[in-house]
Chain A
Amino acid sequence: MSGARLAVLGAGAVGRSVVELAAEYGHTVTAVADSSSAAVDTDGIDTEAVLDRKAEGGTVGDADPDAALDADYDVLVEATPTTLDDAEPGFSHVAHALDRDRHAVLANKGPVAERYGDLRELEADSEGQIRFEATVGGAIPICSTIADFGASHITAARGVLNGTANFILSRMAAEGLDYEHVLAEAQDLGVAEADPTFDVEGIDAALKFVILSNVLAEGDQEFTLDDATVEGITDIPGSALELAAEDGRTIRLIGEATPDSVTVAPRLVPDDGPLSVTGTLNIVQLETTHAGRLNVSGRGAGGPETATAVLSDVSRLTE
């Protein structure tokens, strides 16, 4: 879809980048909302003014946040923070758009990981479509690659989908430091959040692999976070990485998604293999039925990176 009118919900790093880059992709932002305010203009909001206001005063406009939901738009961009269980308010935002026969593009993992069946049901009753490339691996085209091959031709997806855990493990291995030390460094650099639980306990990675299993299962089975076997990296001592390195291996937080299971755990991988990406890079390996293995890697997080995935999804929508 070209020349789309976008309503952007969520004004964090991803939402702000979508607003900033939309014009470059030929789209118009007709509404933007954060948790306490909204800016709405059917002819297109003044993106620069809105972003300046957000940076200075913390709000995007004077309207009520719900005004963005009722604005004039073709595509709703759901970029509010990921929530678990009922995945609200993200889920209702998407439901609202589908109810109006509008499209929804998600950067929020919650609804796709926790309520995939509900989403697909709503989509079936709507003229609108949902897309969610941005929920898995930031700028890396994973969902669209699976769609290109056809989900039935992909038997498994595995890889590294959490930059924070990967940064910590690769720093521990390279510097011989222990977990606590590297975590503190990652927090100073802004790579890890003040509360790193989601990343280091493997939950963030698990949500992404749950989404991939939902895609691979093609409706035969539905997955949520509860169906995933998840282990984090907090118990790994520096000595384990040293022993791995002596043997030409290293440890990475690896997820595996198949049409019938989801696991995330620290695993031993060859030091020089494709899965031992360093720093905050992400990689996904797709196991194909007739074409061997496909490796796709790149930046798995960040505002402009994830916004790139969102805007590519908007382009993929059919009118």
Chain B
Amino acid sequence: MPVDDNDLEKYLREFQPRAVRPLETSRPVRIPWKGWLAAAALVLLSLSGEVWYGRHKSGLPPGGGKSKTFKVEAIVEQRKTNTILLTKLALEDPIRFEEELEADSRRVLPDLQGAQSTLRVLTKE
């Protein structure tokens, strides 16, 4: 390494300016089915989430859930058994009959004070 100024200048003159090359970057490899894969993953994720939520919700005591998510449609769509089928079950399949009654009992006289109750607001003036 030169220490004298003249030597240093001579040394620096050895360097020649060159035009800047365009920056080379590696081009991403296109996977034709990537979009479909992402869509499928999204659908799978949402379906499994829905199944988990459904199971989680059915395991909770009525109105005792901590989740703030609430679907009025879920209540409206709750199935109602009819007297023809219930009578036949009572006579022919007592175990299923008891299951149906148990399911029915969950939707009768709901607890308006539950954490997920919508109607409780109407108990106030």
A and B found bound together: no
Chain B residues in the interface with A (C-beta under 8 A): none
